[in-house]
Amino acid sequence: GAGVSQSPRYKVAKRGQDVALRCDPISGHVSLFWYQQALGQGPEFLTYFQNEAQLDKSGLPSDRFFAERPEGSVSTLKIQRTQQEDSAVYLCASSLNRVSYEQYFGPGTRLTVT
């Protein structure tokens, strides 16, 4: 079946622009995570959804970052007034139900802020 998909795969934004990154999880997966991965580093937790409920957003670096999953499937990560330090790969992962199950990662969106 289809895996986790993310769009766009690449995004170049000028500093100060707003961006929206989309994640389509595997159908039926309850849990959804967003991560930020800097070059040469491990994924860093941003936020977690169980269905439409955002249960943990403690990893969002600032109030410029906002995530939603209104119908419990597709999720959007929005970054307002992008800064150069926001440049990274943003990964989305979904898991079947309980959060401790294996995560299936999407290909990521590489964001470059110029």
Partner 1 sequence: GQQVMQIPQYQHVQEGEDFTTYCNSSTTLSNIQWYKQRPGGHPVFLIQLVKSGEVKKQKRLTFQFGEAKKNSSLHITATQTTDVGTYFCAGYNFNKFYFGSGTKLNVKP
The residue from 35, 67, 69, 86 that contacts partner 1 (CB under 8 A) is 35
96 binds partner 1 (CB under 8 A): no
The residue from 1, 14, 39, 42 that contacts partner 1 (CB under 8 A) is 42
Q: Which residues inside 43-72 make contact with partner 1, applying CB under 8 A?
A: 43-45, 48, 55-56, 58-59
CA dist 95 to 12, 27, 73, 80, 107, Å?
A: 29, 10, 12, 27, 15
Minimum distance of partner 1 from residue 77's CB (angstroms): 16
Q: Which is nearer to partner 1, 9 or 81 (CB)?
A: 9
Is the Cβ–Cβ distance between 92 and 105 less than 8 Å?
yes
Minimum distance of partner 1 from residue 14's CB (angstroms): 26
CA dist 40 and 48 (Å) reads 23
Instruction: Give the tokens for residue 28.
Output: 């039926």
Instruction: Give the tokens for residue 78.
Output: 């929005």
CA dist 26 and 92 (Å) reads 11
Which residues make up the interface to partner 1 (CB under 8 A)?
33, 35, 40-45, 48, 55-56, 58-59, 91, 93, 99-108
